[in-house]
Each structure stands twice: as structure tokens, then as C-alpha cells.
Structure 1
Amino acid sequence: MMLRSSFSSRPKFRHFQLLSSALLQRLNFSLHFHHYSPSAPLQKHSSNNYPNLLHHKDWLSQPEVIRIFQSLKDPNYALPLFNQLTKRKDYKPSESLYTTLINKLALAKNFDDIETLMQKIKLERKCRLSDSFFRNVIKIYGHSAGRINKSIETLFDMPNYKCWPRIETFNFVLNLLVSTKQFEVVHEVYGRVSELGLEIDTCCLNILIKGLCECGQIEAAYKVLDEFPKQKCSPNVRTFSTIMHGLCENNRVDEAFALLERMEMEEGLEVDAIVFNTLISGLRKRGRAEEGIELFDKVMLKGCAPNPGTYQEVLYCLIDVKRFDEAKCFMGRMIDKGINPSFESYKLVIQGFCAENLVEDLEWALRQMVRHGFVPKMGMWKQIIHCILPSYEGKIFPFQEYVGN
């Protein structure tokens, strides 16, 4: 009883409860019964729709203000309500408040208002902002809004907010450009790194290599690899695996193995599952599936732990060389390890069992397929039935309408 009395007697807490509750009720009422434009001044609506709460003389703390904005049901009201807040004498901006507003506006896909707010923040300069704040804004522009140019502008505009970016934020923008295949812009941004007072790191050079490999410029990627010691950086496994993938995609698998030797002998780096997956896949795609299977045996001897991707690539190799009995055993091995073969794997192995008339193996594969949530298509059912009943010549069975097309 004493606790309840002392808690409820705090006038400031009671005021905030009434303030936030009344504000949200009025905002909701305005949404449903009035034609309110968020860009219009709030004063016009304060007599009927909006209580004049933000003109109240009692001071509001930062947590109270942030809770009001977090509780807004319609994010479009965030900016006009913020403009009302800035007129209060106790207005004290913070990074948390700005982040809450920006995330609310992003939720409403109101990216123009985010730009307006960012300009207002630049003019105010009333609080220091962190690199994480700007990275969030850059991410919203790049991923949610698709405004890549605004991401770049925000990065290079950070010093005007009295905040210098970290190399991680710079790399985030570079990777954003590579993922959106804006390869020419990547080099323009990279060339301006000195404007931000940043030093290049391994991750930055890896992103450049990734971009060059994706557009087929393997020789240029090799030149970037040679730049590592000049930039006082050391290449890592990701550096080499990226170039290996580019070589395999351009039918230069033997060069990828030469690079593997360089990575192990000259750089002293240990090979991981991603590297082996890349090489096994490269061999298989070039009709060298037997070599891919042999490479997997070497992986196991080296003590390198394969991942689900490794097992899947080896399974494809076994299917490609029509070693279906071994493929069945390998699938059982995968299942025992909690790795589910892909739908394509089941489809191909079932086709192989049908071609060799292995009815028992076919039944096993079909049961495993259904158990893992895959549904055979009509073409697969026809193959299966033709294998079990050779006299079947395309007749319509009663269950056909239930098995899909």
C-alpha cells in the first residue's frame, strides 16, 4: 500500500501518463474523423483535434518525449509533432530522439521527410551524433528507400554534422554499391576515401575484389591483391575465396587451384569449407565431378570441417557421374547429420533410380523426400509410376488431381 501511494503521488509521472494517453487518443481521433495533412501546422488543429499538450508549462524529460513518439500509431505524424516539440523551452534534442523519429518515418516509407529532418539536424547542431546513427540513416536510404545516391551523400556529409565516419561505415557503402552492381561508382567512392581521413583495411580491399570479380575483371582483382602489402594490409581467406570463385565462374579452375597453393604456402592461411565448396562446385560445373569427389576426401583428411554446402556439392557430383548407389548412402549420411538434401537432389536421384529400375531405392528416396516436406511434381510421379508399372502409358490415375502439376 505504501509503495502504491508513493508511486502514484508523483505528479510528474501522473502528468506523463495523462499527456501521452490523451495525445495518442486525440491523434487517433484525428486520423479517423478529420482530414488532417501532416504537413499542415498543428496549431490549426489544436482546438479540436490536438490538445495543446506540447505547450504545457511542465517540463518533459527525454524518455517521456521518446515514448510519445514511439507510441505514435501513424508514423506520418512524427515530423509535424517534432516541429511542435522544437518550440518548447525544454526542447533538448538527442541522438535517441532523432533515431526514433527517423525509424518512424522509415516505417511509413516517408523518406522525403527523413531528408527534411536531416537538414534540420544539420542546422541545429545541438547534440553530437555517433557513427552508428549515420550508418542507420545510410542503411535506410540504401536498403529501404533504394536511394543509393543519398547513402553516398550522407557518408560524405557526415563531417558537416561534426562526425567523422569509421571505416566500417565506409565499407558498408562500398558493399552496398557492389551488391547493387554499381561498379563504376565503387571506384569513385573508393578514390575519395582520403576526404574522410580514413585508412584502407582488408575488408575494404576485399569488397573491391568482389566487385571486380562479379563484373569479370579477374586481372584487375589480382592487381588489388598485390596492393595489400602497399596498404599495410594482409589478405585473408575471404580474399582468396572471392578470387577463386571468379576464376571458377570464368572456366579457370586450374588457376583457382594455383591460387589455393599460394594461399596455403605463401600466406600461411588455413583453408575453410567455403574455399572447398567453391573449388568442388567449379570442378563439377566443368564436367570434372570425379575430381570434386576426390577433393572432398582430401578435405576430410585435412581435418577441415565441411558445412552443409560442401555435402550438397559432393552429392551433385555423385549424381552427375551416375553413382546413384553411393549417392543414396551419402544422402543417408547427410540426413544423419541433420542436413536435408535439396529438392533438386531428390529429383535427380529419383530420375537416376527410375532409369536403372531400382524400385526399392526409389521408394526410399520418395519417402525421405516427403518426410522433409517436398512434394513431387506431376512429371516425377509419371516417371515413378512408369518405373513401378512399365505398362503405364500416360493413363490418368484417380490421384492425379491431388499431386500438382
Structure 2
Amino acid sequence: MALRLHLLGKKLTFEVRNQFHARPVSCNSATAFFSSWSSGNPNPNSHINPNLCFQCVDSDQLDDTENGYVRGKEMGVKNSGLLSSCDKRITPNFCLDSSDKGYVRVEEIGVKHSGLLSSCDNPSGDRREICNFDDPDEDGEYEEEEKVEGDEDDDLRVLNMFSKTQRENFRSVDGDEDELRHPLVKETCRLIDLRSGWTPKLESELRHLLRSLKPLQVCAVLHSQNDERAALEFFFWADRQWRYRHDPVVYYAMLEVLSKTKLCEGARRVLRLMLRRGIDCRPEAFGYVMISYSRGGNMVKSMRVMSLMQKAGVEPNLSVCNTAIHVLVKGNKLERALRFLNRMQIVGIEPNVVSYNCLIKGYCDMHQIDDAMHVIAEMPSKGCLPDKVSYYTVMGFLCKEKRVKEVRELMEKMLKDNKLFPDQVTYNTLIHMLSKHGYGDDAVEFLKEAEERGFLIDKVGYSAIIHSFCQEGRIDKAKELVREMLSKGCSPDVVTHTAVINGLCHVGEVDEARKLLQQMYKHGCRPNTVSYTAFLNGLCRSGKSSEAREMMNLSEEEWWTPNAITYSVVMHGLHREGELSEALDLVKEMVSKGFYPTAVEINLLIQSLCQEGRVDDAKKFMEECLQKGCAVNKVNFTSVIHGFCQKDDLDAALSLLDDMYLSNRRPDTVTYTAIINALGKNGRIEEATELIKKMLHKGLVPSAVTYRSVIHKFCQQGRVEDLLKLLEKMLSRQKCRTAYNQVIEKLCSFGNLDEAYKLLGKVLRTAARIDANTCHMLMQSYLSKGIPLLSYKVACRMFNRNLIPDLKLSEKVRKRLMLEGKADEADKLMLQFVERGCILPQHKQNVQS
């Protein structure tokens, strides 16, 4: 007993040091199949109606994000919310370890970041309880689940648990919108957003607020975060606080938020925490995790969640079964999806319209339109009538293929077979789908048809068509459609004007775009960031990047704020015009405003600096970006290293190679090859050899460029034996079919024919065309040096390996042999051609004469 108390006291009296991890994770737009599930079910404890069609319309049909043209959203990267991987000095205290093994990893941090509190400097004296994920008693069984690759149909076994007596659903929770406006929720979100000035006092305030929040208010805080990673950080930070425990509804809210992202590992950890703590897990909880894995492109792990569901003893329902079908379809496993659907029916889970719509989408993705139509035709006989989404999915595929005639036939079939009347939604859907795929003229026809039938097409539909025309450069047609909008009393909004401005800039009519930008105020709409960014892009493309830079400086006066895309557009313009210093200053300003250039943009500036010989400036710029938390990668380091190699400053290049390991950017084969080539060029063969061995020891595979560089430098110095030893080690790591061919050809070019002849046997092991070319080069080299007899010997060795030498080259060898009095060798050479049918016997005498 005393020992247990001692261990318990030891567990509760350790110092907590949190290290903030901000891993940039891109979040795609919501998958259309589950858009209704994600957005229409804001209450995480409410049961998802299996009859609810969360498929709606395919994302390829309505979403227009590919072109950066989204209604109601501004072009650019949205605010990152709580997380920021770019400045570790502004680290908040609620932090999440990104490892798969740990809920919170206790680490010793050498330098204490501002805003990080330990138990010794905690003003409130609260202790924090940490759930240890490294405890094998708690987590071992779930980790084992991920190590074992299951059979393809293991996911069918969970259906055997189905019983028609299902547990009651979670109670429906109302008032979520009211909770978002609650003062406590707003104040909590405000404190979270103040991460740039995070202090112990602010954290103490947030801790006291947390204890006053009701479960639904905590859910509101999670839903209100712009960056879902921030919501996940807050969730785990709150869970570690003393005298606080999440209500089950909060877990479901967190899973619902994560289901809209690719943060699948975070969702998995939340689910495992629920299972470990004995919280009642509904099938919807597992469905959320499956969707998140599916968004991340990991179909295998997504389906493995069902095995975890079976292990937890949770019975499946129609909702989670539909999720499984969707995941299989998105993973191009349509046959498995069909088997899963059949198994559902066997165990008594009747598919609904959503189940069949998933299959229809799968058939359309595989271009099996007849099979998709067959599913629609069979649905009534199975007691499930198709809905408009079933038809919209097929229509989307037909629009993409510009099969407009078949779209009209399908509309008639929809009305005739299932009494589904084309309505305003139908026409809006077709207009958007056709506009997205660049078929503006067909979209206009449907627009007119809709208006003739009394349906009102709003500015959203018009804007989609206008945007399509502008993308094709048909500005006159776009302007005509704008005038038509005005004549019908449908005022163009900022999105419509922005589309026209972008189109005008695209065709080089920047002055017209400027006028339209100024006239927007007369039409009752103010230009936004997207409008100005489109115009600045036009200026930069017209060679007026300096003017674009000035407009950015005046953005506050014009009541608009540049975003990451705005900075990127102007930076590229300045770079194209050779204003490198201005581009660098703009990037620094961009970082100071909280926007960060991509690794590609950083590399563009680094290469430009290196081309101007400013390698030290390039290194300094890269280091500044690295310190600010920008996405500096190994390519950026390699560019700077290549710049030092170009200047023959190899010590700086080698030093930077070591810095790559220190900054956790592992060099690749290209990095090593650049330095190896430079070392060989400067005669430092031993160092180059050691670097190659180090590269091989690191597990890196030599590339074709690496082989060419090594062979050239070693052959140039005549160190053939050293080269052959090194090649042996390189070839053991990665086979290179032409390695010895390159050696012989390089030796020939440097005049070392004796060594080249010794290696001929390694080349003639296979009778390939490239081997014949190598032999021809050696024969020509011997002829150039006046040794036709050795050329003859090379030709004979080729014949022995069933390789036919070049006839014209062989004739030159024969003539030189005749001049030197070696007629027997000359006749034997030609005779071998005759024996192989390359020269007719009757022409043999002519050849000899």
C-alpha cells in the first residue's frame, strides 16, 4: 500500500513542459457525399438520420475552387486560427504532441519559450493531469491493431454484430447558434487568438474561463475555430486541466470538426481516448474517424476503423455502413463496395438512397455510365426510389464529357420514370457543372430554358457562366451577360465584377480592368481582396510590378487587406522584372504580416541570388526564413549548396551539408551529387570518395547524374582501379546498366585505350545496342591512333557475342589493315559479314578489290 501511494504521489508531482508542434496540414474542401452530414448535423450528440442524403451534388459539379473562384470566400489562405508554425516565440501553452504514441509527451526543453508554464511558475497553483499514451497497458492493443494487415473482407465481419434492437440515439441538442454568440464563448475565442502575445496571465484567464463553460459552450468554441488544428490543441489542453473533464458531447463535437479535415491521426486519438475512458461510443463516432482517414487518402486505415469498432463491441448502423461504402468507392474498390452492400442486406441492414448514390458515383468515376444507369433502374425493384442526386451525379459526368444531348434525355427520363420534376435546383446544378468544365454556351441555353419555365436564376448562376467566359478569354460575351443581368434587375455583385476584372487582365486589358474596379462603387459593391489581387496580377503580367507594389502600400487607405496570394503575385512580378531586392523586401514584409512563402517561392529567390553570385545573401535569406518558421526544405538547402559549389567555396558547401542534418532536413542524392561533382572538379578525389561512401551508408541511391559525375572525374585523372572499386559499392546499392559503358567511353575520350580494352568484357556480357555503340567508339579510337589491328580484335569480339559491327566502320578498318599488309585479317573481317548475311557472296570480290 505504501509503495502504491509513493508511486501515485510521484506521478502527480512532476513538472509539465509542453512543446508546441504546429504541423502544417492542408485541408481540402468538404467531400460532397458527406457535405450534408458535416454541415447539416452540427450537434455531435445527435444521431445521424440514415435517410438523410448527405451526398447532395458531387463536388466536381458545384465546387469551383480549382480556379480560385468561390462565392462568399476570399481568394487566399484562410487565417490559421490558433496554430502558427512560423514563429516559435509565440507558442501557446495548450499544446499537442504530434507523435502517434503519445497524448502528451513530457520533454525537457532547453530554452523556455515565452508563454510556456511549468508547475513551478503556475500562478494559480493548478496541477495538470496527463494521460500517458506510452503505457502499454492502456494502448498496446490498439497499436497492435495497426501493425497487422487485415484481409480484404475483414470489414465485413463487423456486420455480423448487427441486431435489429439498436440502442437509443443521443438526444438532440438545440441552441448551437445561440452558444456561438455567448459572451464566454467569444471571450475564450479571443484569448485563443491572442497567441502572438501569450503570457502566463492569459493562460490563467483561459483556465478560469474553461471552468465556467458548459459542455455545449465548449463545443461552440471548437466549432468556431478557423483552423481545426487549433480546435484539437485546445481540446487536449483543456482535457489536461485540473478539476475539468470533457463531457461526452465535447468528444463528438471534436470528432465532427476533425471529420471535415485530413487530421486523421488526431481523430483516431480522440476515439481511442473515448474507448479507454469508457465513454459511450455510437457508430457515428467511428464514422467521423473513417471520413477523416478517407479525406487523407488512406482507405486501408479508414476501413480498419471498423475492426476497432467490432473490437469495442459497437453495433453498426446504416449511417456507418454508408460511410464504409463511400470510403471504398473513393478508394477505387468498387467490387468490395458491392460485396459490402450485399452483406448489409444479408444481415438485415437495408440500403437506402445514399447507399446506392455512392455506388452510382463510383461507376461514374470509373466511366461506367451504363452500370450507373442500371443501378438507377434497379433501385425501385429493391424498395428504394432514386432521388434527384442520383440523376445529378450522372448528369455531372455527362456535362464533363460535354454530352449535353444525353443530359436532356436524362432529364426527361427522370420525369417519366420517377416523377422527379426539373426544378430550379436542377437548372442551377447543370449551369454550374457546365460552367465549371468550360461549356459556357451550353450553360446559357439551360439558363434561358429555366427562365422560360418561370425559374429565377440568381446572380450566382450568372456569375458562374461569366467566370467561364472570362477564363476562355471571351470578354465580350461576359460583358453582354452582365448587361443582360442589369436589364433583368439582377445586380452584379463583387464576385461577378471580380470575374470580369480577372478576365480583362487575362487578355491584357489592364486599363479597362482599372476602370471597372473604380466603377464597382457605383454599382453598390466595394472591391475586396480578391478583386484587388486579380487586378494586381494583371499589372504584374503587364510589366507594372512597381505600380502593383505601390497599390499594396495604399491598401489600408482603400480598406482592403493583402493576403498570401496578393504578396505572392507581386513577388513573382518583381522577380520577373529583375527587381530582386524589392522581391526580397516584400517577402520579409509578407512574413511579418503572418503570411509565409512556399518552398517553391523561396527557392526561386535563392536561385536568382545564386545566379547573381550573391550566395552568402541567399544563405542568409534562407536562414531568416527558417528562423521565422517558413517551409524551408531540402531543395532550398541544395540550391544554396549548389551556389557555393559554383563559386568553388566547398568548405561552405560542406558546412551547410552538416547544417541540413542539424535542422532535420535530410539531404538527398541531388545534394550529395552537387558536392561530389565540385570536389572532383577541384581534384579532391579522396574527399569525393568518402562522401560517396557516406551517401551510400545513409541509404541513398546514386542517380545517373552521380554515376556520370564520378566516372568523368576519376577517368580524367586516370584512376581506373579506384573507380572500379567505388563502382562496385555503388552498383551494389543501385544497378546502373550503362556504368561500364560510360567508363569505356570516357577512357576513350581521354585516350586511355588500354584500360578501356580491359573493361570490354564487362560490356559484352549482354548484346545490346548501347554495347555496340561503345565498341564502335573504341574501334574508332584505335583507328584514330593508327592501330587498326586492335579495332579488328574489338570487331571479332563483337561477332563472338552475336553483335554485328557497323559495316562502314568495318570497311575503314579493312582498308587500314590492307595498307599495313594484313590482308588475312581484312578478309576474315569481311568474311564474317558474309557468313551472317550482311554482305552477299557475289559482292565479296568487289569488296576485297
TM-score above 0.5, yes or no: yes
* Cα contact 1:248–1:256 (8 A) shared by 2: yes
Determine helix, strand or coil for the equivalent of 2:487.
coil
Query: How much has 1:351 moved relative to structure 2?
Result: 4.0
Find out whether 1:325 has 2:325 as its counterpart.
Answer: no
Q: Is the 2:466–2:500 contact (alpha carbons within 8 Å) kept by the matching residues of 1?
A: yes
1:270 maps to 2:526: yes
CA contact (8 A) 1:202 1:235 kept: yes
Q: Are residues 200 and 20 of structure 1, via their aligned partners in 2, closer, same or farther at CA, if it must alter by over 3 Å?
A: same
- For residues 150-299 of structure 1, the aligned pairs below 5 Å read 153-155=409-411, 157-160=413-416, 161-194=418-451, 197-264=454-521, 266-299=522-555
Separation of aligned partners in 2, 1:221 and 1:192: 19
8 Å CA contact 1:70, 1:104 repeated in 2: no
| Match for residue 396 of structure 1 among 678, 685, 692 | 678
Structure 1 residues 306 and 104, CA, compared in 2 at 3 Å: closer, same or farther? same
SS of corresponding position for 1:209: helix
Q: Partners in 2 of 1:164 and 1:102 — Cα distance?
A: 20
Q: 2:646 aligns with which of 386, 391, 394?
A: 386
Q: CA deviation at 1:172?
A: 2.9
For 1:11, the equivalent position in structure 2 comes to none
Distance in 2 of aligned mates of 1:382 and 1:318 = 24
In the other structure, the counterpart of 2:635 is 375
Tell me what 2:336 maps to.
74
Q: Which amino acid aligns with 2:558?
A: K
Unpaired segments ≥5 residues, structure 1? 1-16, 24-62
What amino acid is aligned across from residue 277 of structure 1 in structure 2? Answer: T
User: Does the 8 Å contact 1:247/1:253 carry over to 2?
Assistant: yes
Q: Which runs of 5+ in 2 are unaligned?
A: 1-155, 163-316, 329-334, 654-674, 680-687, 706-849
- Determine which structure has the larger helix proportion and give its number: 1
Q: What is the alpha-carbon distance in structure 2 between the residues aligned to residue 236 and residue 137 of structure 1? A: 31
- 1:363 paired residue number: 619
| 1:38 paired residue number | none
**Alignment match, 2:160:** 21
1:271-322 Cα distance to aligned partner (Å, 9 max, x none)? 1111111111111111111111111122232231222101111222333444
Shift of the 304–124 alpha-carbon distance from structure 1 to 2, 3 Å rule, reads: same
8 Å Cα contact 2:451-2:457 kept in structure 1: no
Q: Contact 2:322–2:354 (CA<8 Å) still a contact in 1?
A: no
Deviation at 1:207, TM superposition (A): 1.9
Determine what percentage of the aligned residue pairs are the same residue.
Answer: 21
Contact 2:459 2:491 (C-alpha < 8 Å) held by counterparts:
yes
Take 2:426 and 2:594, find their aligned partners in 1: how far apart are those partners? 37
The normalised TM-score by structure 2 is 0.34
Residues 92 and 308 (structure 1 numbering): CA distance in 2 closer, same or farther, change over 3 Å?
Answer: closer
Instruction: Mark the CA change 1:384 to 1:192 in structure 2 (over 3 Å): closer, same or farther.
Output: farther
* 2:603 and 2:635 in contact (8 A); partners too: no
Change in CA separation of 1:231 and 1:128 when aligned onto 2, cut-off 3 Å: farther
State the distance in 1 between where 2:159 and 2:382 align: 28
From 374, 390, 398, give the equivalent of 1:116: 374
Deviation string for 1:105-128 (max 9, x for gaps)?
Answer: 56876542220122345x769777
With over 3 angstroms needed to count, the CA separation of the structure-2 counterparts of 1:239 and 1:147, relative to structure 1, is closer
Q: Could you tell me how far 1:235 is from its partner in structure 2?
A: 0.7
* Whole-angstrom distance in 2 between the partners of 1:68 and 1:319: 51
Deviation at residue 330 of structure 1 after TM alignment: 2.5
Retained in 1: the 8 A contact 2:539–2:547? yes
Look up the match of 2:39.
Answer: none
Deviation of 1:254 after TM superposition, in Å, equals 0.3
- Normalised by the length of structure 1, the TM-score is 0.66
Mapped to 1, the partners of 2:160 and 2:383 lie a distance apart of: 29
Q: Distance in 2 between matches of 1:141 and 1:375?
A: 42
| Whole-Å separation in 1 of the counterparts to 2:357 and 2:570 | 47
1-structure distance, mates of 2:318, 2:625: 55
- Cα distance change of structure 1 residues 138 and 377 upon mapping to structure 2, 3 Å threshold: farther
Task: Tell me which amino acid in the other structure corresponds to 2:374.
Answer: T
User: 1:374 Cα deviation (Å)?
Assistant: 5.1
Instruction: Supply the AA of the counterpart residue of 2:371.
Output: D
- On the 8 A contact 2:501/2:513 being kept in 1, the answer is yes
Q: Aligned with 1:181: secondary structure?
A: coil
Give per-residue Cα distances to partners, 1:149-202, cap 9 Å, x unaligned: 455544454433222345344233223223333344333333432576522211
Distance 1:68 1:324 in 2: 54
Q: What is the identity, as a one-letter code, of the residue corresponding to 2:525?
A: L
Deviation at 1:345, TM superposition (A): 2.8
The answer to whether the 8 A contact 1:128-1:162 is kept is no
Q: CA RMSD in A?
A: 4.5
C-alpha separation between the residues in 1 aligned to 2:596 and 2:353?
Answer: 46
1:205 positional shift: 1.0
Q: CA deviation at 1:102?
A: 3.4
Task: Give the deviation of 1:241 after TM superposition.
Answer: 1.0
For residue 357 of structure 2, the aligned residue among 68, 93, 99 is: 99
Task: Give the structure 1 partner of residue 832 of structure 2.
Answer: none
Trace 1:130-169 onto structure 2 (pairs within 5 A): 130-139=387-396, 148-149=403-404, 153-155=409-411, 157-160=413-416, 161-169=418-426
> For the residues of structure 2 that align with 1:151 and 1:269, how far apart are their CA atoms?
36
1:93 Cα deviation after fit: 8.7
How far does residue 79 in structure 1 lie from its aligned partner after superposition? 8.9
Q: Check the 8 A contact 2:615/2:643 in 1, yes or no.
A: no
Bigger Rg, structure 1 or 2? 2
Superposed CA offset, 1:6-56 (max 9, x none): xxxxxxxxxxx9996399xxxxxxxxxxxxxxxxxxxxxxxxxxxxxxxxx
Q: 2: CA distance between counterparts of 1:78 and 1:140?
A: 25
**Equivalent position amino acid for 1:255 in 2:** E
Rounded Cα–Cα distance in structure 2 between residues aligned with 1:157 and 1:194? 21
Rounded to whole Å, the distance in 1 between the matches of 2:453 and 2:352 is 24
Measure, in 1, the Cα distance between the counterparts of 2:159 and 2:618.
65
